[in-house]
Amino acid sequence: MDAAIVSDVHCDGPDSVAQQDFLRFLAGCPAPTLVLAGDIFHAFWAPGGVPFVAYQPVLDALRGFDLVVLPGNHDFHLPAQFGLAAASIGTTIERRLGGLSAVLSHGDEVDRSLKYRLFHGVLRGPGFSWLLDRLGTELAWETLHRLAGPLGLGKPDGALVAAQRALAGQRIAGGAELVVMGHTHAPSCERIDGGWFLNPGDWVEHRTYGVVRGREVELRCFEG
C-alpha cells in the first residue's frame, strides 16, 4: 500500500465513536503516506497554538506518517498545526501518490453559493481567529461546535456530488491521474476518461477510506 486517503472523519473527542474507530485505523494502517483531505476533526482549533486536548490523541497517532494535510470546513486551521499556511476554500495540493499524479482538495470548492463563500470568508479570516484566541479554550470549543452543527445530519447533496464529478473530469482532462474530493460524505471510486476520481466518504456513517497501490485506487471500509 503506497497511500491511504481519508476525509470527513469528524473526530470529536474521546467519547466520539468516529475518533475511537479512527485511532484503531491509524494504529493498524500500513501506508507510509496518509492524506488528510479535510474535516478529520469536527471543530478543530488551537487556542494560543495549543490544540484542543480532546483531539490530542489523534494528533499523536498521526506522528510517523508522511502526511498530506488539507483544510476542511470543520478543521481549516489544521494545516497551520503542521506548519502549512493553506486554509482557504479550494486549496489544492498536487503530488505523486504511488504511481499516480494526484490533485487533492477537500471538495467544498464546488459550493459556489454566496452564503457558503461569505460564511467561510469570515470564519477563515484574521478577525475570527483573533476572537477565538481571546475567548479561551472552553468558549472557543463551544463556539466552534455551535457553528459546526450536530453530527450526522444531512444526506449527500446531489448537486454538489454532480459538481464534484464534473470538476474531477476537468482535472483529469488537465492531466491529473487521480482526483480526490471529500466533503459530501458520498463515498465513491470511479474511473473518468482513464483517470481516477475518489471520494473517500466519511466516518460518521460509512467509515470508508481510499487506498493507492501503484496505479490502482480502491475504496475500502474500516471494519475494525
Residues at the interface with Mn ion (CB under 5 A):
39, 72-73, 183
Q: What's the closest the beta carbon of residue 72 comes to Mn ion, in angstroms?
A: 5
Residue closer to Mn ion (CB basis): 147 or 173:
147
Measured from the CB atom, the residue of 100 and 184 that comes closer to Mn ion is 184
- State the minimum distance, in angstroms, from the CB of residue 216 to Mn ion: 26
Grid cell listed for 27: 494504529
Least Å from the CB of residue 201 to Mn ion: 12
Tell the smallest beta-carbon distance from residue 99 to Mn ion (Å). Answer: 28
> Which residue lies nearer to Mn ion by CB, 89 or 178?
89
Shorter beta-carbon distance to Mn ion: residue 98 or 182: 182
Return all residues near 115 (Cβ < 8 A) that are at least 6 apart: none
Q: Which residue is nearest to Mn ion (CB)?
A: 183
CA-nearest of 177, 201, 189, 210 to 31 is: 210
